[in-house]
Structure 1
Amino acid sequence: MINEPIIEVKHLKKHFPIREGVFGQETGKLYAVDGVSFTIRKGTIFGLVGESGSGKTTVGRTLLGLYTPTAGEVLYQGTDLHSLSASQLRAIRPKIQLVFQDPYSSLNPRIRIGEAIGEALLAHKLCTKKECYEKVIEIMEICGLSRHHYSRFPHEFSGGQRQRIGIARALILEPDLVIADEPISALDVSIQAQIINLLADLRDDYQMTCLFISHDLGVVEHLCDDVAVMYLGQIVETASRDTLFTQPLHPYTQALLASVPTLDTRMPVTVISGQVPDPSAPPVGCRFASRCPQKQPLCDNVPPVFTQVTSGHLVACHLFSTDI
């Protein structure tokens, strides 16, 4: 069922201690993720966007279990991942896979790519060596690679081909969720389009579910079904792709969309003024207040709450709050 939730993130927080001095005494906290909630539906691509340092990658790594959350829940099909024992988590781990930003650094240069793609199958004892070879060939062809690529080493491939290898490594385990962290940012523009089309085909043909982390709004508009916009560790707006790009409500979302370059030289590129506040000392009220052109007096002292403006379209902004 397409609307069935695969992942539900509820009030997720991840704070990193700041340590100083010879003895590493904790002097503060870095509020990388500070109360994030969203749902990823089965068979869809969910886009998580925002400026560098907004906390997007930390969200992805916490979903994977690479970071232990400070608070909140990550529910996989109704089960909180961070309440599981090590053995229970190991059984679920194949169901959530990661596609890295830099495909070359994620590959062992001494291992042939066919073996690299299939090693997870053997590690989890999901098939025999003969079955593994057949599955690897199948997934390579699905991802646009050829059978004769099986015995080659990573240095023999282009950047786009390496990213296809990374996608094949993730899909070989038939995961319920793929987390793609800036998977095209290191690629040439022409190659980016190929990888975007591959991800779209995998969703349409194989019902792949994906968390797509990116700062490129143009790519997100083309690829994603639902979108959440992050700023300084919090989500400020979430909606379907069509709704968000045609009716952006939060001033930060509007500024991001206005800053996307176009081929029309008559349209000036809008630059968001001001600096991002220190994540170790976030503002008490709205975190975007110091840069917001529509700032109100209460924005400095009262944090906004999420308000549902239309079905599925939520925004955290005092301009739309019904509580104040």
Structure 2
Amino acid sequence: MIPPEAAPSYKGISTRVIAGLTANGETRPFLVDDAGLPILGAFSIFGEPTLLAQNNGDAVWARGNQANSSFQKSPTGWLANLHGGPQTGDDFAAVVVPVNEMLVTDFDTAKWTYLMSAAETFGVNIVIWVHDPTDFDKRAEITQIGNHADLEKGAGWNAFEFDEDTAGMFYFGENVSGSGITAGVQTTWSAFQADVIFKTWKIYRITIEYGWEASGTFDDVWVADIILNGTQLQLRPDSGGTGRIGRRNFTVASGDLTGTLAPKTPYRLLAVDLHVTATPNAGEDFTITKDAFQGTLYDTVIFSSDLGALSLT
């Protein structure tokens, strides 16, 4: 319990008060109720998680689903469905967590769980975004390399426990000078906490990421739990509206092509694009089906067309 200060209101809300949270000599605001308990969802240190994806990556909010056992984890029942897609070096998906100016030396632990639909060369990694609190021209991202041996990458449920001894951490940034750590060289998180420059810098964002490989295709993963410094983040569709529309690409060089959107419940089919490189033969069908999970007799055919008979190209 955090004892409330004498303030009778906060921004006109009479039932809430501010308590002081002291860290490294600084007093930071912390929103609590009249009983002195932290208010759920208040942005004290960690803000509301949102989703981000670039290039071939995609990120959507998904409900836990019995079909792939994703319902087994997550305190809210919601998961962040991250899809890497074809990897060309800068394709990724991420959970983005705002951080309220936490000192690098204050961030000690993190845990996250993720369900991988297939084994990959990279796992789901953490990136810690930092800057000089006195000069915002100086910033860096400190990344846990995705293919590190300690990071689980197998099909099924995986988890990672991050602490000061976590290796495979490297940084790139702008206007970083005087550090004893060379950009791009892997070291431990504790090395950043002890560095003459980085130990004075503050964290403004943390991302849990999937992607950034040079080749191959990264299938779906579902991030279920994220705990930062002992704080369990509440994963759910965010107030800004990210992760509402999913996008998937399916390709094949020759033969039949089958693609599946799963879990299916979060998706609403808005548009489908089909591209072929040669005129189809008669009997080559394009079909969209909704799986009822109650046997094929209950499935619903949404659309079906003989591409060859229609001479479509």
- TM-score normalised to the size of structure 1? 0.25
Rg (Cα) greater in structure: 2
Per the normalisation by structure 2, the TM-score is 0.26
